[in-house]
């Protein structure tokens, strides 16, 4: 019994130490690379227009700091915990691969290697009334960058190697509270007037050379990300 207890304590300590080692591997940052401290709470009210809908962007980027553990390169994913959502959807992305949540709960982006500062393009897209006017309300999300390890599953029937991503540990977390009171001035339309397209992606993260039917995610030279449906 004593041996079992000792083994359990050793295993618990090793897991805790392993998780501690992932702290700060990936950090939240602004578009200039300034790190947003772990545990921060941000309140966002600046409204942008995306197509016919209004949205409030987190303005957060993922910044790789030291994405290695014991000499092995690690990737990252974004965990999104929707704590409050009066209406609309929370859209979240990693390296151009985007998903959306329309209810409370915990959601995860795809995992991938992140080699440079990248826009998470995570925002609250507000719901509208029958006349298409954005509704007043709030939304709150907790965002966590999670270090992940790419693990081989062997060859499939076509001799193509298959992989899966396994969580290693949390790196950094921030809480974002979105607030729209119905009177906030709309920004972003004029700001994009002189901006040029830096990159264009499909909803699954595939880079596009030209606009395509469906959702287009466009990164602009001014650091903003615009989404529209063609």
Give the domain CATH number at 167: 2.60.40
**What is the predicted pLDDT for the residue at 184?**
55
Are residues 57 and 42 in contact, defined by beta-carbon separation less than 8 angstroms?
Answer: no
User: Is 201 within a domain?
Assistant: no
Instruction: Specify the number of domains making up the chain.
Output: 1
Maximum Cα interatomic distance, the chain, rounded to a whole number of Å:
71
Domain assignment present for residue 110? The answer is yes
Q: Is residue 18 part of a domain?
A: no
Tell me what the mean pLDDT of segment 142-159 comes to. 92
> d(Cα 90, Cα 33) in Å, to the nearest integer?
23
Q: Does residue 103 lie in a domain region?
A: yes
Average pLDDT value over all residues in the chain: 84
Residue 165: strand, helix, or coil: strand
**For the chain, how big is the Rg over CA atoms in Å?**
20
The whole-number pLDDT of residue 230 equals 60
Q: What is the mean pLDDT of the segment spanning 47-59?
A: 87
**Residue 215: inside a domain, yes or no?**
no
Given this model, what pLDDT does residue 2 score? Answer: 46
Q: Is the pLDDT of residue 47 over 50?
A: yes
Which residue segment(s) compose the domain that 57 sits in?
Answer: 23-183
Q: Mean pLDDT, to the nearest integer, of 30-54? A: 91
| Between 170 and 199, residue with greater pLDDT | 170
Confidence of residue 229 (pLDDT cuts 50, 70, 90): low
The reported pTM is 0.75
Tell me the pLDDT band of 45, cut-offs 50, 70 and 90.
very high
Q: Phi, psi at residue 12, to the nearest 5°?
A: -60, -45
Q: Alpha-carbon distance 112 to 143, whole Å?
A: 17
Distance CA 1, CA 128 (A): 61
With respect to residue 217, please indicate whether it lies within any of the assigned structural domains.
Answer: no
d(CA 213, CA 123): 22
pLDDT bucket at 183, cuts 50 / 70 / 90: confident
Which of 90-99, 124-133, 170-179 shows the highest mean pLDDT? 170-179
In a domain, residue 97? The reply is: yes
pLDDT interval class at 194 (50, 70, 90): low
Would you say residue 177 lies in a domain? yes
User: What does the pLDDT average to over 106-120?
Assistant: 95
Give the whole-number percent of the chain exceeding pLDDT 90.
Answer: 57
Q: What is the mean pLDDT of residues 189-196?
A: 54
């Amino acid at each position: 019994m004593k041996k079992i207890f000792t083994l359990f304590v050793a295993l618990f300590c090793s897991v805790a130490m392993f998780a501690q080692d992932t702290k700060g591997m990936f950090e939240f940052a602004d578009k200039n690379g300034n790190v947003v401290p772990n545990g921060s709470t941000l309140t966002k009210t600046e409204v942008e227009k995306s197509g016919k809908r209004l949205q409030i962007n987190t303005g957060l980027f993922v910044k790789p700091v030291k994405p290695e553990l014991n000499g092995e390169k690690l990737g990252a994913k974004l965990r999104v915990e929707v704590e409050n959502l009066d209406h609309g959807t929370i859209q979240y992305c990693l390296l151009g691969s985007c998903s959306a949540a329309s209810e409370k709960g915990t959601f995860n982006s795809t995992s991938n290697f992140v080699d440079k500062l990248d826009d998470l393009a995570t925002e609250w897209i507000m719901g509208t009334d029958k006349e298409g006017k954005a509704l007043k309300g709030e939304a709150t999300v907790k965002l966590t960058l999670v270090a992940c390890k790419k693990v081989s599953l062997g060859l499939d029937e076509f001799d193509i190697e298959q992989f899966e991503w396994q969580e290693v540990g949390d790196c950094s977390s921030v809480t974002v509270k979105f607030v729209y009171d119905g009177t906030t001035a709309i920004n972003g339309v004029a700001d994009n007037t002189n901006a040029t397209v830096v990159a264009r992606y499909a909803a699954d993260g595939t880079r596009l050379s030209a606009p395509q039917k469906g959702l287009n995610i466009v990164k602009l030279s001014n650091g903003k990300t615009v989404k529209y449906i063609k």
